[in-house]
Amino acid sequence: MLPSSRYVSRISNDTLYIITGTTYLFDVDTPENEGLKSTTPTVKNLVSDFSCLAADYSILTPAGLEKRRGYCHRDRLLIRLKGRSVKQYPIALRPAALKGMLDIEQPRRTVGTRGDLIINYTAGQRSPNTTIVITLPRNFTADPGNTFINIIGRGEVLLQKLEQQSIGRTGTNYPYNKTGHAQWSKDGKQITLTGLDLRPSNGVDVKIRIQGAGFSTSGVHGFKAYYTTHEPEILKSPESNAMVTVTRAVTDLQRIPDSSTYQAGMPGGYSYTTLKWPRISASRIIIQQSTNEGKSWITSDASVDMRNGIGQLKELQPGKLYLFRILVSGGKHQGASNIVSFFGESRYKEIRRFG
């Protein structure tokens, strides 16, 4: 009933625990020695974070009156589900850091194959000397020697060499002499990053790219992450979760974008494109295409490199929407893959597998 919110610590015994704490926020107009801000959400902050088309949310005072301004404390969250029952949650405050955002750039993978997997994590608030802990799922294979990390856009380096990364030009009073420290647990299932200066906001805080990553079993596999602040107070965030769905059928077929695929000088102005899929064992792989939104499929006139998982298509008509999938025969990955599309002059979008 409750959508995800960075302000919610947890729900226990039908009580909604809202995060409270402090952080430093700076801009060009912030006076020296100031910038301390409360992270406790206002009524407007909380209700807008809960916004959902399927329900209406409002805050009630202990007297049962609707509250429209100020902070949430000893109040109640009222949920009105359209056409359904009403639910109320008493609100209590809980010291914590605001919930971060965890994202996997490859949310669908094919079981038993290897390829890059990219983990993105951004803390919910700015803080110096931050610790981040990322937990990997069981049945997930990763090699620390093939894992790279990028902290707040400083540049990608081998995870094992994070301490050696140059921090670049800084002021004389800058308190850090390294980007951070990384430790991989002995069981290979947890990455701990310490000493991170996350005061700058420069997009994703931590981007981890694992080469040759794979899943040994199909199903839904969960990644987890949380962070701990040390200034202005020690606060731990709630866990953030991201899921990867792993299937036996190929589910990570992709089209390789290329702005030069439209050949204006070729007869008829045909377009060209390339498809890529993970290396798999199969007796036969063909590429199929549809020009009627998947209602019917035909075999494409394509060049297929089964060993490297690459297919090249040519003489595609500009202005026409093509759907592509691969059909695998033999082996444990047999069947139709997910679907990708190609339209005209390298315009691209991905369509998830039907069904």
Per-residue pLDDT band for 215 (boundaries 50, 70, 90) equals: very high
State yes or no: pLDDT of 28 exceeds 80: no
| Residue 241 · residue 222 · CB < 8 Å | yes
Whether residue 55 is found in the same domain as residue 114? no
Whether residue 241 is found in the same domain as residue 147? yes
Q: Average of pLDDT values for 240-268?
A: 77
State yes or no: pLDDT of 171 exceeds 80: no
What is the predicted pLDDT for the residue at 36? Answer: 85
Whether residue 239 is found in the same domain as residue 173? yes
User: What is the amino acid identity at position 249?
Assistant: A
Q: Could you list the residue range(s) of the whole structural domain that residue 86 is in?
A: 8-95
pLDDT in tens, 329-351: 999 999 999 999 998 654 444 44
Of 207-221, 255-269, 335-349, which gets the smallest average pLDDT?
A: 255-269
State whether the Cα torsion 258-263-264-270 is positive or negative.
Answer: negative
Per-residue pLDDT band for 354 (boundaries 50, 70, 90) equals: very low
Whether residue 155 is found in the same domain as residue 293? no
Is 233 a member of any domain? Answer: yes
Per-residue pLDDT band for 266 (boundaries 50, 70, 90) equals: very low
* SS3 readout for the chain: CCCCCCCEEEEECCEEEEEECEEECCCCCCCCCCCEEECCCEHHHHHHHCCECCEEEEEECCCCCEECCCECCCCEEEEEECCCCEEEEEEEEEECCCCCEEEECCCEEECCCCEEEEEEEECCCCCCCEEEEEECCCCEECCHHHEEEEECCCCCEEHHHHHHCCCCCCCCCCCCCCCCEEEECCCCCEEEEEEECCCCCCCCCEEEEEEEEEECCCEEEEEEEEEEECCCCCEECCCEEEEEEEECCCCCCEEECCCCCECCCCHHHCEEEEEECCCCCCCEEEEEEECCCCCCCEECCEEEECCCCEEEEEEECCCCEEEEEEEEECCCCCEECCEEEEECCCEEEEECCCC
Whether residue 266 is found in the same domain as residue 334? yes
Q: Average of pLDDT values for 137-163?
A: 93
Q: Which of 79, 95, 111 is the last residue before a domain boundary? A: 95
State yes or no: pLDDT of 90 exceeds 70: yes
State yes or no: pLDDT of 137 exceeds 80: yes
Is 163 a member of any domain? Answer: yes
What is the predicted pLDDT for the residue at 33? Answer: 66
pLDDT in tens, 220-233: 999 999 999 998 89
User: Over pLDDT 70: what percentage of the chain?
Assistant: 88
What is the predicted pLDDT for the residue at 1? Answer: 59
Whether residue 277 is found in the same domain as residue 188? no
Is 331 a member of any domain? Answer: yes
Is 215 a member of any domain? Answer: yes
Whether residue 118 is found in the same domain as residue 214? yes
What is the predicted pLDDT for the residue at 351? Answer: 45
Is 1 a member of any domain? Answer: no
State yes or no: pLDDT of 317 exceeds 90: no
Of 28-37, 52-61, 104-113, which gets the smallest average pLDDT?
A: 28-37
C-alpha 304: how far from chain center = 31
Is 123 a member of any domain? Answer: yes
Q: What tokens does 313 get?
A: 């298509």
Q: Which of 30, 62, 95 is the last residue before a domain boundary? A: 95
What is the predicted pLDDT for the residue at 319? Answer: 82
Is 338 a member of any domain? Answer: yes
Is 243 a member of any domain? Answer: yes
Q: Average of pLDDT values for 299-316?
A: 94
Cα angle value 313/316/320 (rounded, 5°): 135
Per-residue pLDDT band for 297 (boundaries 50, 70, 90) equals: very high
CATH code (residue 237): 2.60.40.740
Q: Which of 73, 95, 117 is the last residue before a domain boundary? A: 95
> What backbone torsions phi and psi does residue 93 show, to the nearest 5 degrees?
-95, 145
Q: Average of pLDDT values for 188-193?
A: 95
Q: Which residue has the higher pLDDT, 228 or 35?
A: 228
User: What is the amino acid identity at position 320?
Assistant: K
Whether residue 240 is found in the same domain as residue 298? no
> Exposed, middle or buried, 282 (CB in 10 Å: 0-12/13-18/19+)?
middle
State yes or no: pLDDT of 146 exceeds 70: yes
State yes or no: pLDDT of 286 exceeds 80: yes
Q: Average of pLDDT values for 64-93?
A: 86
What is the predicted pLDDT for the residue at 307? Answer: 94
Whether residue 108 is found in the same domain as residue 70? no
What is the predicted pLDDT for the residue at 344? Answer: 64
- Residues in contact with 330: Cβ distance below 8 Å, sequence separation at least 6, in sequence order: 281, 282, 283, 284
Q: Any idea which residue has 């194959």 for tokens? A: 113
What is the predicted pLDDT for the residue at 148? Answer: 97
Whether residue 312 is found in the same domain as residue 176? no
What is the predicted pLDDT for the residue at 349? Answer: 42
CATH code (residue 335): 2.60.40.10
Per-residue pLDDT band for 29 (boundaries 50, 70, 90) equals: low
Per-residue pLDDT band for 355 (boundaries 50, 70, 90) equals: very low
Whether residue 116 is found in the same domain as residue 150? yes
Domain count for the chain, please give it. 3
Whether residue 307 is found in the same domain as residue 325? yes
What is the predicted pLDDT for the residue at 78? Answer: 86
